[in-house]
Amino acid sequence: MQSDFVEVDRTLPVYRALSYFQLENSIIAVNLAGTESGLLECRISGTPLDVIPSETNTGYPISLLDRAALELAEYFQGKRMRFSVPLSPEGTEFQKQVWKAACQIPYGQVRSYWWVAVRMGNPHAARAVGGALRENPLAIFIPCHRVVRQDGTLGGFAPGIEWKQLLLSHEARFKDELYKTWWASHLT
């Protein structure tokens, strides 16, 4: 789980890349943006695709985006449940608190908007939490897809509710094996 966000020098050049990944029977297009020291954006594009478009952007001169794309590929292959790429989301202090709380939700689990608000020390801020999650610039890396309504229904998701369902189904499919692997590597 991401423990903290890094500050980046906003005068550094920002690089962008578009990557495609297989998610169940769909292709997910992901726009990445970052500097040499931190990932600024990970945005899911559009609706599920049936095939990977023939052109992809691979000519960016920054290893951080390569690392982010590799970690996303491992995530979509069911081989990664935690990310190590340094994150540097832009937002208000409140939004950053919400995003940090969302990062505490374990892989393959869900928590409510109210849980996030309580985690931040403000149990009456559940609606504001939803607003902050809607502005999350780092989808998947900041797992806002793991936040649901108090009654367990999905609630909103900026890229679209179909993506939220696909991401939750994906994590449910791989979580048992990933947790077994993680525990085995940490007990030896």
Domain ranges of the chain: 93-178
Calculate Rg over the CA atoms of the chain: 16
What pLDDT shows up at residue 126? 94
Active site residues: 144
pLDDT of residue 8: 82
Which fold would CATH assign to domain 93-178?
A: Arc Repressor Mutant, subunit A (1.10.10)
The pair of structure tokens assigned to 162 is 């179909």
CA distance 109 to 166: 14
pLDDT tens-digit profile, the chain (188 residues):
566 899 888 788 888 888 889 888 888 889 999 988 899 999 997 665 555 554 444 444 468 899 999 999 999 999 999 999 999 999 999 999 999 999 999 999 999 999 999 999 999 999 999 999 999 999 999 999 999 999 888 988 888 898 999 999 999 999 888 877 766 666 65
Compute the distance between CA of residue 100 and CA of residue 117 in angstroms, rounded to an integer: 11
Q: pLDDT value at position 55?
A: 44
